Amino acid sequence: MYRKHTCGELRAAHIGQETTLAGWVQTVRKFGAITFVDLRDRYGITQLVFGERMGERLDAEPLGREFVLQIHGSVIERSNKNPNLPTGDIEVTVSDYTILNRSAVPPFTIQDDTDGGDDLRMRYRYLDLRRSAVRRNLELRYAVNRSARNYLHENHFMDIETPFLIKSTPEGARDFVVPSRMNPGQFYALPQSPQTFKQLLMVSGYDRYYQIVKCFRDEDLRADRQPEFTQIDCEMSFVEQDDILRMFEGLVKRIFLDVKGIDYAEPVARMTWEEAMWRYGNDKPDIRFEMMLCNLKKPDTVFTDRTDHRGLIADAGFNVFDNAETVLAIAVPGASEYTRKQTDEITDWVKRPQIGMQGMVTIKCNADGTFKSSVDKFYPEERLKAIAHACRAVAGDLILILAGAEERTRKAISELRLEMGQRLGLRRKDEFKLLWVLDFPLFEYSEDDNRWVARHHPFTSPKPDHIPVMIGNDPSIPDPSAYLSHPYAQIKANAYDMVLNGNEIGGGSIRIFQRELQEKMFAALGMSEEESIHKFGFLLGAFEYGAPPHGGIAFGFDRLCSILGGSESIRDFIAFPKNNSGRDVMLDAPSSIDEKQLEELQIGLK
Amino acid sequence: MYRKHTCGELRAAHIGQETTLAGWVQTVRKFGAITFVDLRDRYGITQLVFGERMGERLDAEPLGREFVLQIHGSVIERSNKNPNLPTGDIEVTVSDYTILNRSAVPPFTIQDDTDGGDDLRMRYRYLDLRRSAVRRNLELRYAVNRSARNYLHENHFMDIETPFLIKSTPEGARDFVVPSRMNPGQFYALPQSPQTFKQLLMVSGYDRYYQIVKCFRDEDLRADRQPEFTQIDCEMSFVEQDDILRMFEGLVKRIFLDVKGIDYAEPVARMTWEEAMWRYGNDKPDIRFEMMLCNLKKPDTVFTDRTDHRGLIADAGFNVFDNAETVLAIAVPGASEYTRKQTDEITDWVKRPQIGMQGMVTIKCNADGTFKSSVDKFYPEERLKAIAHACRAVAGDLILILAGAEERTRKAISELRLEMGQRLGLRRKDEFKLLWVLDFPLFEYSEDDNRWVARHHPFTSPKPDHIPVMIGNDPSIPDPSAYLSHPYAQIKANAYDMVLNGNEIGGGSIRIFQRELQEKMFAALGMSEEESIHKFGFLLGAFEYGAPPHGGIAFGFDRLCSILGGSESIRDFIAFPKNNSGRDVMLDAPSSIDEKQLEELQIGLK
């Protein structure tokens, strides 16, 4: 070893000992004949003192930032102790040193608040990775990895590797494909997830499987999407939904404890998908704060079991509400004193193209019990009071109301709720609230193809009660305009998402394990029998030989780490991420390949 | 949960308890009105008793092999205990049961000695995986995984994920490539190993890295090669060779202890590459047995520091030896009484095309101290005795001698040694002998291109003493016939292989960490400056900013598991392996893809 101790190891107890250290020059400070150097490695920083005797050598060849040094010296007590540094009680007087490697001046400073822009730091990722902010992220990632593995191991899960060179069966997202040289004209695909393999492992009796595994999706990249990403992928046999929920809230609680020191003792909240959409306008509600939706008006075709407050706004001659499919409100706590300028600014915010509303109605619930609204002339105070009551607003609140088409308006009020929560500081980074969202619809309707698509994936089971509905009905949709009244529109999935602070961190389902039901599912998704055999014959085959009831879940590992680390960006938690065009700018990949390689693969460029 | 206990859990202490079990029907045995069923899951087998009351239902719908059952019943003491089964003290009398799923008759028996052929078992891999022989292999694999992770964690290694979609830089093996839809005409490559990334992580100061990671090589498959395989990949900073050897023999010893219960207390043997080639004819000698080579004659151009015994065989008028470049012998212990038929059979064995010898000379060292040879007429007894002495043969041994061209003959005697070791039962599956092979040549000579190729890879450092030889000499080879006398032929690498029972299970090196030396290496391998910048500019760049001394190792995880499991085949230790044509016959991959996919990728088939 080039060292006897690391740069984070020496304490007062080492005073008087000889040591050898190796690391990087963080800073060089000269005070007359004495030079102080902070030497850095992964474990910490140690202050070195180069005495007068070294002056000549240092003058002849000054030490620069990021030089790699090996030093020999003695540990002494610091006169000027630094309580912020674990090694702050000591320093090392250098008796001899070797420059192991020199460094050019880095293109940006290796500090938490670096002067390097995004592009520069991506290009010199190996230098960006030196910054302690980034190192802490990767350390957190490893801690989550370790914690998850320990919990799953203790619960009898086995890590079983599934293949990366598989068959292309694009459903939803595009596959990355890999031309096969040994089978010209044929291609492997990289897995979008190990879904079918983990189900086969259940058929094979492995009972509990997990893997922390790379997955690949060739999608048009949005901000903070990566073409390769990591899942904590799990599957269990002989379970019902509740078994899965308990097992995996246990996993996340264990990660909180191991990684953040948080004892998440309270039960994890559970909410149906319908309740989430009704109360939050969103299937991954942030429940760190209330500010729930008041459904003043909704179309008859949705939330058929629920009652809105349409009477409160009807017959007032206010065309905007009368003509709107949907009218939704939130009560913003303590915001009744917002100025006209402030409410105008919020109105502008909801009119942005990303939100797409035409306008916004406000009702101020004044502290003195009076009400003031932007639609006073349509609604007398008594009616405003009734609306405020329906919204559960109290004196001091500001009610914001959006109106328009159902889907867009619900999405908009959900965004507005999050925005107001953010502005009021209700979304605290150090507060963590878990939520299970349950009972998703099994199908979504695709207008383009006038057919059903799987909301989760084609292997998700309906609720046991809904299996007869699925088996007993023809999936075809004779009248596209009435798709909502097709029996399939009411089928709920035996599926669940885990939501953390408004982010979906995991999702899964109880799977179909009967061949007949799986065939019906493929048919419902518009697959011919030939196509389903071609793509998934191995799975249908496996279901012939004693498939057990099973279900599972996959967590988005990158996202989970970024939320635990208090960051918006998953990129900060990936050692070598790609940019928004899917490029690795450090490697300069993808890139052109040799003509010889193309020839061997028997493919050509168009 | 569908069960209260697993099928491997119930013991005498549970007698009298009610239970619910779920699993697969292993066997059904009817005795009059009583039916016995062995119910199986991953954890074990439990005997069920279906009493008279169930008879009618069982007759109406008989239980078949591999049916999935859930049963309720009481645990009772077995009258006829089975000491070979952990649950053998009890059985469960069934009070009620549910058939969770039926099974067609499997195409082969789900037993250790199955009647299924290789192809059938690959096609129905999900059924083959049910066999306990295969399950034990995957359990062993997971145990090795877990043990390695624990050891590396305790030694401050961090698991850091490196990317799978990287840049194609084919060196040696072919890359699998992935066309980029978003960057038409450009390709990613799948990593042959995370080599350059782990080096960058050292440059970034991560100090100790590991990963258990899939790697990809598009090679023509030989038996027992897989296009995707798994490595335990490790790298450390501020280390010299000896630090790495100690750290990673510790890893393998820990795996022996955790997985096999073997306390490998003895030091791991170390041998130079030259010694291994001289004594065993092989760079991965099986040292479970001796039977070392006697170098009777070798060319002057190789092993220049070593002395052969050419005098013992010269000047006898035996043309075969006189004309041969190389003559090598082994003394097979206790084989002097082999019959003519037996020695003829061995002669035939060395004449097989895979070995390629013209013939074999034998010397019997008889128990009475006399000698008998197939070349008696050239060598009188006194000379035979001297040869036997050189071979360290004792009375009762049989000396086998091969002669021919250096490379082929050394390889042949090495194979013969292994074969004789096998025949004599000297290669015991339950004996494990580790060996470090050190000081490999840095370069091999490529006759095709008349240039040097890296024996390990282009990032391996020469021995510190040999750096000046490398820097100070022109790598070009003016006289191809004299390549052995080029200074580069003598340069030794700072590299090491770990060998277990004659198999290379891991290999690594101290890396180059200076830009100048790395550039010289690329030049020595025939790369132009442009080419080296195009392919490895990021690494050369990284070396400008304070790269620390570092080195590492990668273990072949599949192979390591197969040896620990006592098997010849890595396929038995991979959940979903590919066949020798690189096909997954269960999935039927690779396969053709849609025209639409090709269009989106802007590639065409030739």
- Does any domain span residue B122? no
φ and ψ at residue A413, rounded to 5 degrees: -70, -30
What per-residue confidence (pLDDT) applies to A234? 98
Q: What's the mean pLDDT when you consider all of chain B?
A: 95
- Give the pLDDT mean for A171-183: 90
* Pair A179, A603: CB distance under 8 Å: yes
Using an 8 Å CB-CB cutoff, list chain B residues near A601: 177
- Does any domain span residue A121? no
Q: By CA distance, what is A605's nearest residue in B?
A: B603
What per-residue confidence (pLDDT) applies to B267? 95
**Can you tell me the distance from the alpha carbon of A160 to that of A166, in angstroms, rounded to the nearest whole number?**
16
Whether pLDDT at A221 is above 80: no
pLDDT tens-digit readout, A448-481: 889 999 999 999 999 999 999 999 999 999 999 8
- Does any domain span residue A276? no
User: How many A/B residue pairs have CB atoms within 8 Å?
Assistant: 350
Using an 8 Å CB-CB cutoff, list chain B residues near A240: 1-2
pLDDT tens-digit readout, A500-528: 999 999 999 999 999 999 999 999 999 99
- The tally of domains found in chain B comes to 4
What per-residue confidence (pLDDT) applies to A603? 92
Task: Return the axis-axis angle of helices A529-542 and A515-524, rounded to nearest 10°.
Answer: 150
Using an 8 Å CB-CB cutoff, list chain A residues near B129: 200-201, 204-206
**Can you tell me the distance from the alpha carbon of B139 to that of B143, in angstroms, rounded to the nearest whole number?**
6
Cα A334 to Cα A295, A399, A520, A549: the distances in Å are 21, 10, 53, 51
Q: Are residues B303 and B415 in the same domain?
A: yes
**DSSP strand pairing (B326-332 vs B398-404):** antiparallel
Picking from A254, B379, B395, the residue whose alpha carbon sits closest to that of residue B387 is B379
- Give the pLDDT mean for B154-159: 98
What DSSP line would sit under A498-538, residue for residue? EEETTEEEEEEEEBP--HHHHHHHHHHTT--HHHHHHHHHH
φ and ψ at residue B371, rounded to 5 degrees: -130, 145
CB contact under 8 A, B22 and A578: no
**Can you tell me the distance from the alpha carbon of A591 to that of A600, in angstroms, rounded to the nearest whole number?**
18
| Chain A residues 220-259 within an 8 A CB cutoff of chain B | 220-221, 227-228, 230, 238-240, 243
Q: Are residues A151 and A58 in the same domain?
A: no
| Chain A residues 508-547 within an 8 A CB cutoff of chain B | 513-514, 537-538, 541-547
pLDDT tens-digit readout, A540-575: 999 999 999 999 999 999 999 999 999 989 999 999
Residues in chain B, overall count = 606
- Give the pLDDT mean for B33-53: 96
CB contact under 8 A, B606 and A602: yes
Return the half-sphere exposure (C-beta side, CA atoms, 13 A cut-off) of residue A312. Answer: 22
Picking from B104, B432, B206, the residue whose alpha carbon sits closest to that of residue A24 is B206
Q: Are residues A322 and A422 in the same domain?
A: yes
- Give the pLDDT mean for B215-226: 86
Picking from A238, A543, A586, the nearest residue to B1 by CB comes out as: A238
pLDDT tens-digit readout, B160-205: 999 999 999 876 689 999 999 999 999 999 999 999 999 999 999 9
pLDDT tens-digit readout, B504-537: 999 999 999 999 999 999 999 999 999 999 999 9
Does residue A176 belong to the interface with chain B, where contact is any CB pair within 8 Å? Answer: yes
- Specify which residues A158 forms β-bridges with: A209
Q: Are residues B240 and B311 in the same domain?
A: no
Q: Cβ atoms within 10 A of the Cβ of B115, count?
A: 9
Whether pLDDT at A85 is above 90: yes
- Does any domain span residue B34? yes
User: What is the H or E stretch that residue B134 is in?
Assistant: helix B132-154
Does residue B174 belong to the interface with chain A, where contact is any CB pair within 8 Å? Answer: yes
Using an 8 Å CB-CB cutoff, list chain A residues near B581: 182-183
* Pair A309, A387: CB distance under 8 Å: yes
Sheet of strand B550-556: strand arrangement: B158-159, B208-216, B228-237, B550-556, B503-510, B495-500, B434-438, B269-272
Picking from A6, A197, A603, the nearest residue to B604 by CB comes out as: A603
What per-residue confidence (pLDDT) applies to A220? 85
What's the CATH code of the domain at A565? 3.30.930.10
Radius of gyration of chain B (CA): 30
Tell the residue number behind the tokens 């087998």, with chain if given: B45
Whether pLDDT at A172 is above 90: no
pLDDT tens-digit readout, A23-70: 999 999 999 999 999 999 999 999 999 999 999 999 999 999 999 999
Does residue A299 belong to the interface with chain B, where contact is any CB pair within 8 Å? Answer: no
CB contact under 8 A, A167 and B138: no
Say what percent of chain A tops pLDDT 90.
93
Q: What is the ipTM of this complex?
A: 0.95
Residue of B100 and A170 predicted with greater confidence: B100
- Does any domain span residue A115? no
CB contact under 8 A, B42 and A207: yes
Whether pLDDT at B239 is above 80: yes
Q: CA of A418, closest CA in chain B: separation in Å?
A: 33
- Does any domain span residue B121? no
- Does any domain span residue B54? yes
Q: Which of A59, A78, A101 is the last residue of a domain?
A: A101
Does residue B20 belong to the interface with chain A, where contact is any CB pair within 8 Å? Answer: no
Q: Which of B396, B427, B458 is the last residue of a domain?
A: B427
CB contact under 8 A, B576 and A162: yes
What per-residue confidence (pLDDT) applies to A592? 93
E-assigned strand segments in B317-450: 326-332, 361-365, 371-373, 398-404, 434-438, 443-446
* Pair B264, B278: CB distance under 8 Å: no
Q: CA of B277, closest CA in chain A: separation in Å?
A: 30
Q: What's the mean pLDDT when you consider all of chain A?
A: 95
CB contact under 8 A, A214 and B2: no
φ and ψ at residue B93, rounded to 5 degrees: -85, 125
- Give the pLDDT mean for A313-327: 96
| Chain B residues 65-124 within an 8 A CB cutoff of chain A | 66-68, 70, 100-104, 106, 124
Return the half-sphere exposure (C-beta side, CA atoms, 13 A cut-off) of residue B553. Answer: 28
Q: Are residues B244 and B172 in the same domain?
A: yes
What per-residue confidence (pLDDT) applies to B111? 86
Q: Are residues A142 and A244 in the same domain?
A: yes
What's the CATH code of the domain at A413? 3.30.1360.30
What per-residue confidence (pLDDT) applies to B100? 98
Picking from A506, A437, A442, the residue whose alpha carbon sits closest to that of residue A271 is A437
Whether pLDDT at A413 is above 90: yes
Whether pLDDT at A225 is above 90: no
- Give the pLDDT mean for B588-595: 92
A317: which 2 tokens?
Answer: 């001659």
Q: Are residues B154 and B46 in the same domain?
A: no
Q: Are residues A394 and A456 in the same domain?
A: no
Q: Are residues A475 and A593 in the same domain?
A: no
- Does any domain span residue A44? yes
* Pair B77, B90: CB distance under 8 Å: yes
Using an 8 Å CB-CB cutoff, list chain A residues near B602: 605-606
What DSSP line would sit under B496-515, residue for residue? EEEEETTEEEEEEEEBP--H
Whether pLDDT at A171 is above 80: no
Q: Are residues A360 and A478 in the same domain?
A: no
Say what percent of chain A tops pLDDT 70.
100
pLDDT tens-digit readout, B44-98: 999 999 999 999 999 999 999 999 999 999 999 999 999 999 999 999 999 999 9
Q: Which of B531, B547, B563 is the last residue of a domain?
A: B547
Q: Are residues A527 and A564 in the same domain?
A: no
Say what percent of chain B tops pLDDT 90.
93
Whether pLDDT at B361 is above 80: yes
Does residue B27 belong to the interface with chain A, where contact is any CB pair within 8 Å? Answer: no
| Chain B residues 556-575 within an 8 A CB cutoff of chain A | 574-575
What's the CATH code of the domain at A31? 2.40.50.140
**Domain range spanning residue B57?**
12-101
* Pair B324, B398: CB distance under 8 Å: no
Q: Cβ atoms within 10 A of the Cβ of A191, count?
A: 24
Picking from B12, B78, B15, B16, the residue whose alpha carbon sits closest to that of residue B48 is B78
Q: Are residues B138 and B60 in the same domain?
A: no
CB contact under 8 A, A159 and B145: yes
